[in-house]
Chain A
Amino acid sequence: MSSNVTTLDTKAATVTGKDRYKAGVLEYRRMGYWEPDYQPKDTDVIALFRVTPQDGVDPVEAAAAVAGESSTATWTVVWTDRLTACEKYRAKCFRVDPVPNSPGQYFAHIAYDLDLFEPGSIANLTASIIGNVFGFKPLKALRLEDMRLPVAYVKTFDGPPTGIVVERERLDKFGRPLLGATVKPKLGLSGRNYGRVVYEALKGGLDFTKDDENINSQPFMHWRDRYLYCMEAVNRAQAVTGEVKGTYLNVTAATMEDMYERAEFARSLGSVIVMIDLVIGYTAIQSMSKWARRNDMILHLHRAGHGTYTRQKTHGVSFRVIAKWMRLAGVDHIHAGTVVGKLEGDPRTTRGYYDICREDTVPQNLANGVFFDQHWASLRKVMPVASGGIHAGQMHQLLDHLGEDVVLQFGGGTIGHPMGIQAGATANRVALEAMILARNEGRDTLTEGPEILAAAARHCQPLRQALDVWKDVTFDYASTDTPDFVPAVTAAS
């Protein structure tokens, strides 16, 4: 790692003995929150923060303050520390590095003893780690970049109620990404018209349709009406295709009681899946996860709202941390980026998110923004969902970037098809199957992709039309959230 900025003063030593508890104010780095010799235990939770101190604030003191304010400290010395095994409970910053090519920013590694956290509670974990400290005055900005969650802590969570493998078994769909579409327009359709979109899309070849994040129970469509019409559409589509179909019924509502009522109704109608929004909060998500587990229900999470705190590089919480929390909290699907679509998503950073969702062991990979080895101890896997501005003409790139265990959601790319929704769905399904067939035959789909699609379009008019309409649509903007470490480049021979 290059240290192109300042030399850090890392020598401050913890004050011990009588002087440590003299009334008054002591620097955090002298209170025991800066321990450069500390060896993190296998059971410690480790957090990596990007710290941007205010001008004139020493980076090590700022990092120690983050450790202090996210664990036991307050602004002054308190004698009541001495009634506790306080050295154990203090979070310890043990490493501070300048961020490559970002003057004024530092990566702080902080270790937390497992006893600081209630088992199985995201609310408790986050109340410590992001509770007070993000508003701390001596910091200009603070970002939680990554966390190492020890197996001992992972094991206190149930994780996803269904997981990728069981979801595939339950749906009887193997060997290819699943296909979905969000019903559009997202607001305004009546229940009856909404169900029409669901039926056409599922009959045309999609596996799932989806409520959008803000479709709950509005004047134009009561939730019960939507559920009834959607399940008519799902069952009709199953009968005409012989395939299991689903529609994510959004149960997001004002109270847990309302959400349980809606989820129960979805279950009674035979839905295989329900959905919630991230904005319902961590505790509500964990409650719905337990409900889903009791009721054999796939639980889809729409990450509504995350962009407010995940997108900017200097302040907030990285989405890779949110993805880790959500795998613990227990959701089966999570929107994790498309790379090529309309929403934020650097390829390597997105790859890091996908690995966090799908792998049992995720090794450190700085070029992908993954700072720690993470062992999930067989916690079930979360199916990532790619949604937002993608279309059939990108199928080879999507498969290359995102792999096989993913839900590809073409909303506009299904419903906006010139020949209608069913044709749009068929175009996507044919493009996908043709690409999987070719990949399995050993062809280089990334380079031959356009040819493979053109060949498949010869027996499929809807695909031909889709490729025609959207052939030039790309969303080529610079990402704001990119890795800080570039992979080593070897000179081309």
Chain B
Amino acid sequence: MRITQGCFSFLPDLTDRQIAAQVQYCIDRGWAVNIEFTDDPHPRNTYWEMWDLPMFDIRDAAAVMTELASCRKVHGDRYIRISGFDASHGWESVRISFLVNRPPEEPGFHLERQEAEGRSIRYTTRLLPSAAP
């Protein structure tokens, strides 16, 4: 399966040139840029691991692309996302978030159903074990 989180998951995977353009868009708006990675892409897994601190004071997307390359070197078999964070009043949250790396094979999820009263069902979304060793 192909998880479709983030802003651009329905497009072909972004090239590094395309990623850099999106990063520059964030920088031009004064947003901090953050690189995060995970092996648990559960839709409710909010806190992916941070690849160092968010980058607050950069001017050029090249700095982020260097960090992304290092992150990929270590965690290339995981999901990696880039987000732009806007600290201005009234927002103070993420403005954009998109995937920049996927594992070679995405295991997907299994939906568990527990039958409860009155035909209600309690659902649990469980990550399937990776096929990779």
Contact = CB atoms under 8 A, between A and B. Distances in A.
Nearest to B118: A224
B41 to A, nearest CB: 5
Nearest to B111: A239
B116 to A, nearest CB: 9
Contacts, number: 107
A256 to B, nearest CB: 22
B62 interface: no
B18 interface: yes
A23 to B, nearest CB: 55
Contacts of B120: 228, 268-269
Interface stretch (A24-32, A137-145, A171-179, A482-490): A171-179
B65 interface: no
A236 B111 contact: yes
A33 to B, nearest CB: 39
B4 A241 contact: yes
A168 interface: yes
Contacts of A169: 93-94
Nearest to B43: A244
Contacts of A270: 123
Nearest to A234: B123
Nearest to A358: B90
Secondary structure dominating the interface of A: helix
B53 interface: no
Interface string B1-26: 10111011111101000100110010
Contacts of B125: 235, 238-239
Contact of A440 (B11, B25, B97): B25
A260 B73 CA distance: 53
Interface-centre pick from B5, B84, B90 (highest chain A CB count, 10 A): B90
Given A172-B46, A232-B121, A239-B111, A436 B21 contact: no
Nearest to B9: A433
A440 B7 CA distance: 12
Interface string A258-277: 00000000001110000000
A442 B4 CA distance: 24
Q: Which 6 A-B pairs have the closest CB atoms?
A: A175-B96, A242-B3, A239-B111, A235-B123, A440-B25, A175-B7
12 contacts: A174-B97, A238-B109, A238-B125, A239-B111, A244-B43, A268-B120, A269-B120, A429-B10, A433-B7, A433-B11, A440-B21, A441-B22
Given A238-B109, A270-B123, 7 more contacts: A174-B93, A174-B97, A243-B3, A433-B7, A433-B10, A436-B7, A440-B22
